[in-house]
Amino acid sequence: MILGVPKESYPGERRVALVPVVIPNLTKAGFEVVVESGAGAGAGYPDELYTEKGAKILPERAAVFAQADIVVQVLCYGSNDITGKADLPLMRRGQALIGFLRPLGSVEVIQEIARTGVTSFAVELMPRTTRAQNMDALSSMGTICGYKAVLLAGVTLPKIFPMLTTAAGTITPARVFVIGAGVAGLQAIATARRLGAVVSAYDMRPAAKEQVQSLGGRFVELPIEAKNAQDARGYGTAQDESFYARQRELLGRAVAESDVVIATAVVPGKKAPVLITADMVKHMAPGSVIVDLAAERGGNCELSQAGKVVIAHDVKIIGEINLASEVPYHASQMYARNLTAFLTYLAKDGKLRVDADDEIVRETLLTRDGEIVNARVREFFKLPEPAASRQ
């Protein structure tokens, strides 16, 4: 089975789907690897490192798609809504495609992918089970983003993070408030703590409290309770607007008292809830920083703009998107390990095992034989039953 690694084409994207170090494991599992020339360069993995590990370098993108039985990408069409479409004519029926496909994004785009006949697997749909933990790319990228968000805040804030007692007096520590204590939020808490900040955090899932505290953060309790705060997969659920309004009211004080707010609250497939209003920003001290990791999904802060830094009321609101690409070496390494675990799980006797009885396959398989086959995605977009099951 030939695995193809095209160069990422999303503007500014520096990650790569496979790094050289995973190639021997893939070879052992029966894969050959072909890589588009320069695919790893932005992440610190030049072509020679791939060749040393036994991969073949191809100068042409089209040749990578033509030779590959399985194409692996970071941002496939779907998540790459700028240049991803150009890859569609390169795909063929029966070929497999694995990567971020934004399966709950646009149904038209997923239908376009389906129509190529490609057998696609969306890594975002990986079940959150113990067995699939080492294949969970969302968690890997969340970890990277949470870390980098704190560093961004650190270089932007006109203060230092730790408490210092010096001959020039005592400096009080920065106060960092993290909203949403999932994977990214927890990593942000840990990173800010390591830098010496005083950290507090809030999440509507009660289960997050213990995790925040175990990292040395103070859990901010609000006197409201979310209805079924957590779904079966562990994700936060969408709440009604009156819940969000009450949250905004109650979060005001914690936001106003913070030098840095790292906002990570998202709900799969939904616009991110607005939890920080313009008025709340107004009450923050001049020079404060908000890093809105939800900016791409509409933003947790009312004033955020995706991909931009907005200055309002003397507060910098960083709406950076695709932050994982800013740490391309380790983001690619983690992603490549996730993919390798997934690929070696799928491979059997030199073939890809597309067994719908298997939970990991069933949950991640997005399109096959020209159709969107994923039950969760079909239900999300309210699509009628697929043709195969109508017969």
Binder among 95, 191, 264, 333 for ligand NAD (CB under 6 A): 264
Q: Is 96 in the site for ligand NAD (CB under 6 A)?
A: no
Binder among 184, 197, 290, 324 for ligand NAD (CB under 6 A): 184
Q: Determine how many CB atoms are found less than 10 A away from the CB of residue 95.
A: 19
Can you spell out the DSSP letters for 330-365?
HHHHHHHHHHHHHHHHHEETTEE---TTSHHHHHHE
CB 291 within 8 A of CB 131: no
Can you spell out the DSSP letters for 45-67?
--HHHHHHTT-EEES-HHHHHHH
Nearer to ligand NAD, 43 or 339 (CB): 339
Q: Is 183 in the site for ligand NAD (CB under 6 A)?
A: yes
362 catalytically annotated: no
The span from the CA of 143 to the CA of 186, in Å, is 8
Main-chain dihedrals φ then ψ at residue 259, nearest 5 degrees: -85, -35
> Which stretch, 86-94, 178-186, 252-260, 377-385, contacts ligand NAD (CB under 6 A)?
178-186
Binder among 17, 118, 138, 212 for ligand NAD (CB under 6 A): 138
Tokens, residue 308: 């931009």
Of 29, 152, 131, 155, nearest to 364 (Cα)?
A: 131
Binder among 20, 84, 142, 299 for ligand NAD (CB under 6 A): 142
Per annotation, catalytic residue among 106, 133, 213, 214 = 133
> Which stretch, 87-95, 100-108, 266-274, 328-336, contacts ligand NAD (CB under 6 A)?
266-274
Q: Is 217 in the site for ligand NAD (CB under 6 A)?
A: no
Q: Is 261 in the site for ligand NAD (CB under 6 A)?
A: no
Q: Amino acid identity of 293?
A: L
CB 275 within 8 A of CB 251: yes
Nearer to ligand NAD, 154 or 185 (CB): 185
The span from the CA of 176 to the CA of 254, in Å, is 10
345 catalytically annotated: no
Given phi > 0 = left and psi -120 to 50 = alpha, else beta, which region is 273?
beta
Per annotation, catalytic residue among 79, 120, 139, 140 = 139
136 catalytically annotated: yes
Binder among 133, 172, 213, 214 for ligand NAD (CB under 6 A): 133
CB of residue 172 vs ligand NAD: minimum separation in angstroms?
Answer: 27
Q: Is 103 in the site for ligand NAD (CB under 6 A)?
A: no
Q: Which residues bind ligand NAD (CB under 6 A)?
A: 128, 133, 136, 138-139, 142, 180-185, 203-205, 208, 234-236, 239, 247, 264-268, 273
Catalytically active residues are 128, 133, 136, 139, 235
